Amino acid sequence: PGAGEGLGVPGDPTRRECLVLERVRPANLDEVEHIIDAMPLTVDRLSTTTAEPRFLTATLGALQLVAGHFGSAIHTYGAAEADRALVAFQMEPARGHWNGETMRVGSAWCYPPGAEHEGVGQHPVTFAAISLPGDQLARLAGDGPASRSQMSVHAGPAVHGLRRVVTDLAGISGRMQVGDSRLADAGRELGGYLTECLALCEPRGHMYAPTARHIVDQCIEASSVLGPRPSSVDLEEITRVSDRRIRAAFNEVFGIPVSLFFRMRALHGAHRDLSRTDRRQTSVTDVALRWGFWHFGRFSGQYKQLFGQTPSETLRQ
């Protein structure tokens, strides 16, 4: 930590503020869901690989920066807070998408207050996200697309500048002492590149979804009728889409088979129920059945492989 001048974005009065940097290593992905103040997330893993999430947080006046690595292929979804906006970008190449837009290292995604978010990383994703108050977004974006109530995307040199500043801040966080001028420069650069991104964003809120994404959405919607773990035959019948096209769509969007997607989704749903419910009000059997698991021994084994503990242990905690 150290002190610098002018760490606010351009247009803010020059002032002395404290740059607070902190390295965070959550014990599991459950603890990640509120790490970005502006965007509470629901995080589902798409593989049984042990996740080792790690993050760096930085507070620069009204801006909050979170840079991190999830440590696993993931599916995230949620919505921006009503009073804060978010600008997110990749730090390293990874296969996946945000709101239907293919992840590209040279792009930044802007989510205004209240905007819905969905992301899929088919491999571990290293990312950064900057949150800022909604009124500050309006000042910086002016009448541009980023000021509207839909997601927008910017691609250009400013994104590379943001990545360089985040890399610099990660280096600063490993040092015992940092000069005021270094911190002030980092704050000015961050604000400048952020302003450029927001001013030049292009709207993407009404783009047509790719065919694979549309098929996946149909199947997920159908699961609300068919149950949390629908069979391929049932999905084919209710969506009028062939089993082959359904399998291809899930592999394209999530990188995993359709049956594994719904099993992982159901395991995470069961985990949240067991974590948030008083054990006097439910049982492991009730939760397992609710999420479509009829073989309780198999459910317990799959659950432990994913979360490192049995369903009964989660419920007791």
Phi, psi angles (nearest 5°) of residue 237: -70, -45
Amino acid at 301: G
Q: Are 182 and 172 in contact (CB under 8 A)?
A: yes
Could you report the per-residue pLDDT of 211-232, keeping only the tens digit for each? 888 899 999 999 999 999 999 9
Tally of helices (H runs) and strands (E runs) in the chain: 10, 14
Instruction: Return d(Cα 152, Cα 136) in angstroms, integer.
Output: 17
> Which residues pair with residue 203 across a beta bridge?
152
Q: Which of 30, 41, 100 is nearest to 267 (CA)?
A: 30
Phi, psi angles (nearest 5°) of residue 141: -85, -20
Helix (H, G, I), strand (E, B) or coil at 161: helix
- Beta-carbon contacts of 280 under 8 Å, excluding residues fewer than 6 positions away, are none
Q: Are 273 and 249 in contact (CB under 8 A)?
A: no
Instruction: Return d(Cα 124, Cα 187) in angstroms, integer.
Output: 28
- Beta-carbon contacts of 240 under 8 Å, excluding residues fewer than 6 positions away, are none
Helices (H), 125-240: 134-141, 157-172, 180-199, 211-226, 232-239
Q: What is the pLDDT of residue 19?
A: 63
CA distances from 194 to 14, 34, 125, 240 (A): 17, 23, 21, 45
Q: What are 118's two structure tokens?
A: 């969905």
Q: What's the DSSP call for residue 210?
A: P
Which residues of the chain fall short of a pLDDT of 70? 1-19, 143-147, 149, 174-180, 203-210
pTM of the model: 0.80
Q: What is the pLDDT of residue 6?
A: 33
Instruction: Return d(Cα 145, Cα 112) in angstroms, integer.
Output: 10
Q: What is the pLDDT of residue 155?
A: 83
Q: What is the pLDDT of residue 69?
A: 87
- Beta-carbon contacts of 88 under 8 Å, excluding residues fewer than 6 positions away, are 98, 108, 109, 111, 127, 128, 129, 130
